[in-house]
Structure 1
Amino acid sequence: MGKKGIMVVTSILAVMTIVFGVISAILLALKHHQDDRGEFSTYRRSPAMTCGVVAAVLASMTQILASVAICCCGAWRRTKGAKRIAAAVFFIISWVLAIIAVLLFLAGAMLGFEGSAKKTVGNARIVGGVGIFVIATFLFLVVAALEVASYRLVRKKDHY
């Protein structure tokens, strides 16, 4: 599989990661209870847990495949000057943010386990963690943008 094939697979994985991140946030947001019996209520395992783990795995795979596409074929040696430095900075930042996004997806998934929900507004009991999935998904969008920018800076320009 060539560089273009790797980028197509990476793009598909990135879209799937975003979809699973959004689905996880929605499923966790729908996990609420209406009762009047005390301060806490219990909830069963949410499907958001599985979706969060899948999003974390897909985010990891996306980052690894994008790194292969960016670093293979001596692309760093062909690029000179400011483009090379910018591509390296984008590449390093994307790795740091990808690790944070994966950890956030896993943290959100852990909140989907069985547990208790505290009373928040009126008598509603809402499971926390929706914000974690939203932040992780947004962070992964930033990671994908940095990967694309780094790839475009180091790719060989055959048409010139």
Structure 2
Amino acid sequence: MSLEMALRMTEILLALAFLQQSAEHLAGFRNEQVIYGHRLVLSGFLLFGIATPWMLLGLLGLGLMILQRFQGPYNGGSDKMSLLVLCCLTAARWLPSEQWQEYAFAYLAGQLVICYFISGQVKIVNPSGVPAARFRTFSASPPTRSARTCAGWRTVRGCCGPWAGP
């Protein structure tokens, strides 16, 4: 696969992810509608390959505005990963030589491998640790009693919210 094809496929996937996230925020507060409305338009242009380097630069600017608006990553790891992909794609499109573009894309690949390896390692080494406890405590849609029973969750009524049970 050529570098150009890899960059383009990554741009399409990123644009689709941003389109979905932006559509979800259009029902939010007015200042969120403005930011995410622009992000929706730029993501559409990116999806169809229109002025790609400029769209990436615009999306990067909006990404920084979103960081400022929510005082950090809104969705935690997924927003950090999206910004990493966006920064590396923007660099790859704006760097002058193909060798430097490859370095930017290789940096992205290395970071993705490291991040997902560490995340997987934490889950394998400690499957009932902090990530599982946070899910049980802060889940927006609580699991059913039968799902908790199947998973072996032993909770005391009230410790994980009003839906927690034996």
TM-score (norm 2): 0.31
Kindly indicate which of the two structures has a greater share of residues assigned to strand: 1
Q: Which has the higher contact order (CA 8 A, sep 6+)?
A: 1
TM-score (norm 1): 0.32
